[in-house]
Chain A
Amino acid sequence: MAASISGYTFSSVCYHSANSNSDHEGFLLGEVRQEETISISDTQISSAELLQVVEVHNHEPCAQLFSFYNYAGLVNEENLNKILKERRKNVIGWYRFRRNTQQQMSFREQIIHKQLTQLLGVPDLVFLLFSFISTANNSTHALEYVLFRPSRRYNQRVTLSIPNLGNTSQQEYKVSSVPNTSLNYAKVIKEHGAEFFDKDGVMKDIRTIFQVYSALQDKVQAVCGEVEQSERVKEKVQQEVNKLKQQIALRKQKNAEEERRILEAQNPEPLPTPEENTEPPETSLLSLVAFNTPSTPERPGPSANPPAYADLLSLQDNSLLPSSSSPTSAALLPRPQAVGSPGHPSPNPMGLGLGLSVGSSPAPSPSTPYLGNGDGSSSDSLDRQAAGQEDEDEDEDEDSSEYENLVSEVAQLPPVTINVLAQGRPASLSPDGDASARGSQT
């Protein structure tokens, strides 16, 4: 089996993933073809091999997690149809983007996958897993991707190729002709070859193909203009929606305050009980606010700006000295065993990275200054925690507790062991080994 995805679709998935603070998922649309490859060998005259080719044409991103399934992994067909609409028949797979996790399907993903194969009627439904990992100092990031077809027992992983321009070198042009003194040759090719050229001596094909290209580029330009307009309209309506939500929140707050004032006016003597009564409305207001905001990733609120890089630097300056290509600064994060990215501030390996360079291992806690997910987006989770929004729907809660336990275990190990752990990982992100290999090439 072979699979392909266009570079633009791939980049688009990366773009949507970069825009989301939690895991990101969606559906893959395309088609599956059977290709026959005929080979001739010495033992047989000809043998035809059937190759299944999976072509991903585009993707349908889900706006949030748990949009078509619940915590138990039960797929809701109605929601599924709402998301896919008429594109349902084009679904050939689905994808998931996670950070700092293993390249394996999680249990929930497996059961969702089984249900999807049945509901969508695609026995060979594929699952594309993206996992994102960064070095401790966030200078290098890797996006790994594997395509699974879980319906098979063997060969579950399929190579995903990205068709591209390949070789654009112009070495195929010939700068000289093969020397030939035959007059007949010259005569024949001139006479009959003249068909190819127009009166200016330019090959007709050149003009024709250039016209095709021009028309195509004009179309690209035109659609691009339309896309740009739609982006701006979308932004504007989004802003209006946000404003309305704020106004509603404010109004609710005002109403709650008024109610409280009325209550206090009715009970002139301050008793303990009225105070208790006033607390729940406020916390429920907070949770109201929490749930009324869209569950797409949130920006930091006014009160909780992520710490400036200056603060971060003061902790990291030791490890980023020019002369020290010290293993700690480039060390890879220990790979957590658990799967899934909790939305709340787990003791992110970044905390460990900081711990390493400062010389002490801080206990993993939400107060770590900067939760580096490698994409600058983790400040939001810190805010959600601060606002008491622990009920956010964006996590895989079962998995996150495992994650926390693992990391706190690791944090108790002495720094040396952490280094060993870090370097024990297949050294794809270790600069020293590769750099020296590279050095020997140049």
Chain B
Amino acid sequence: MAVSAVHLESDAFLVCMNHALSTEKEEVMGLCIGEVDTNRIVHIHSVIILRRSDKRKDRVEISPEQLSSAATEAERLAEMTGRPMRVVGWYHSHPHITVWPSHVDVRTQAMYQMMDQGFVGLIFSCFIEDKNTKTGRVLYTCFQSVQAQKGSEYERIEIPIHVVPHEAIEMYERIEIPIHVVPHEAIGKVCLESAVELPRILCQEEQDTYRKIHSLTHLDPITKIHNGSVFTKNLCSQMSAVSGPLLQWLEDRLEQNKQSIIELQLEKERLTQELATM
């Protein structure tokens, strides 16, 4: 097997979840950035949110332009973190749908594997509810594709995936650091940047659509007003469903961090004193 397992840093996992839960009416997707180690484990450090040009259901293909700009982004991340980073996989969401990849997904994955046999696919299934037990569910799976025995169809093979508690990018090889006693519960810069990209991408998509509509000259004023209102409505929707909650979460996180820092400073003083008396 080309890939033995996937380790997904928990802050990248956070961004994926944010993205998957942002809409229940269509599938969202993105690319995974990271590296593969000598044990054929794929380490995913961050993700890039992608715009979907074709919003039809179950058509999650990435255009060559998107792949190319993702590669550029990976290079930027590599420079920033000092580690070799590249696009190592893709993820998409299955709202209200089972987590398993469809035939289209498996085929798409097979295509990507042709250019990189270590390429992995992640699927997040969300907005699932068992009405009887009122149990909600979020699932995620990791897979690659392999040629099936019969004919030319592809089959899915399962790859173990683990979400690893995140530390800063600098301490990537957490297993080998002997002194590290406590996992860092800190969110990396790149993941934060990815997370705040979502509202920008949504607005961009809306603007592009509106621009096309606006260029139609044969519309009467009432229709123009209608279309303008649709744009306004959609942007309002984005702000209240995405930008607003995002801002709130960021503020809460900031508050939590400030608290933690105060507590840690106190502990540091206490320990310094203890050390001095020994």
Chain A nearest CB, measured from B143 CB (Å)? 7
Check A298 against B181 for contact (C-beta < 8 Å): yes
- The one of A143, A176, A244 in contact with B137, judged by C-beta atoms closer than 8 angstroms, is A143
Check A244 against B271 for contact (C-beta < 8 Å): yes
Check A302 against B178 for contact (C-beta < 8 Å): yes
Within B25-42, the residues touching A (CB, 8 Å) are 25-26, 39-41
Check A213 against B165 for contact (C-beta < 8 Å): no
Check B246 against A8 for contact (C-beta < 8 Å): yes
**Residue A175 interfacial (CB < 8 Å):** yes
- The one of B100, B129, B228 in contact with A431, judged by C-beta atoms closer than 8 angstroms, is B100
Chain A residue at minimum C-beta to C-beta distance from B165: A19
Task: List B contacts of A197 (CB < 8 A).
Answer: 221, 224
Residues 221-245 of A, flagged 1 when their CB comes within 8 A of B and 0 if not, give 1011011101111110110111111
- The one of A135, A175, A237, A296 in contact with B261, judged by C-beta atoms closer than 8 angstroms, is A237
Between B21, B103, B274, the greatest number of chain A beta carbons within 10 A of the residue's beta carbon is seen for B21
Residues 146-170 of B, flagged 1 when their CB comes within 8 A of A and 0 if not, give 1111000001111111111110100
**Residue B176 interfacial (CB < 8 Å):** yes
Chain B residue at minimum C-beta to C-beta distance from A242: B181
Task: List A contacts of B253 (CB < 8 A).
Answer: 12, 227, 230
Task: List B contacts of A160 (CB < 8 A).
Answer: 136
- The one of A144, A298, A301, A377 in contact with B164, judged by C-beta atoms closer than 8 angstroms, is A377
Chain A nearest CB, measured from B275 CB (Å)? 6
Check B182 against A298 for contact (C-beta < 8 Å): yes
Task: List A contacts of B177 (CB < 8 A).
Answer: 299
Task: List A contacts of B113 (CB < 8 A).
Answer: none
The CA-CA distance from A302 to B181 in the complex, in Å, is 10
Check B248 against A323 for contact (C-beta < 8 Å): no
The size of the chain B interface, using a CB distance under 8 A, is 140
Question: What range describes how many residues of A lie at the interface?
Answer: 35 or more
Check B162 against A376 for contact (C-beta < 8 Å): yes
Check B136 against A146 for contact (C-beta < 8 Å): yes
Check A252 against B278 for contact (C-beta < 8 Å): yes
Check A140 against B23 for contact (C-beta < 8 Å): no
The CA-CA distance from A365 to B213 in the complex, in Å, is 66
Chain B residue at minimum C-beta to C-beta distance from A6: B245
Task: List B contacts of A205 (CB < 8 A).
Answer: 228-229, 232
**Residue A270 interfacial (CB < 8 Å):** no
Task: List B contacts of A159 (CB < 8 A).
Answer: 129, 134, 136
Q: Which 6 A-B pairs have the closest CB atoms?
A: A302-B178, A7-B21, A376-B162, A203-B228, A139-B158, A193-B221
Report B's interface with A, CB cutoff 8 A.
1, 4-5, 7, 10-11, 13-14, 17-18, 21-26, 39-41, 55, 58, 97-100, 102-104, 126-127, 129, 133-143, 146-149, 155-166, 168, 174-189, 192-193, 195-196, 199-200, 202-203, 205-206, 209-210, 213-214, 216, 218-239, 241-254, 256-258, 260-261, 264-265, 267-268, 271-272, 274-275, 278
**Interchain residue pairs with CB less than 8 A apart (20):** A12-B252, A14-B14, A14-B138, A15-B14, A19-B165, A19-B166, A139-B159, A168-B237, A170-B234, A197-B224, A213-B239, A223-B254, A246-B181, A251-B275, A294-B181, A298-B182, A299-B177, A306-B175, A309-B5, A329-B158
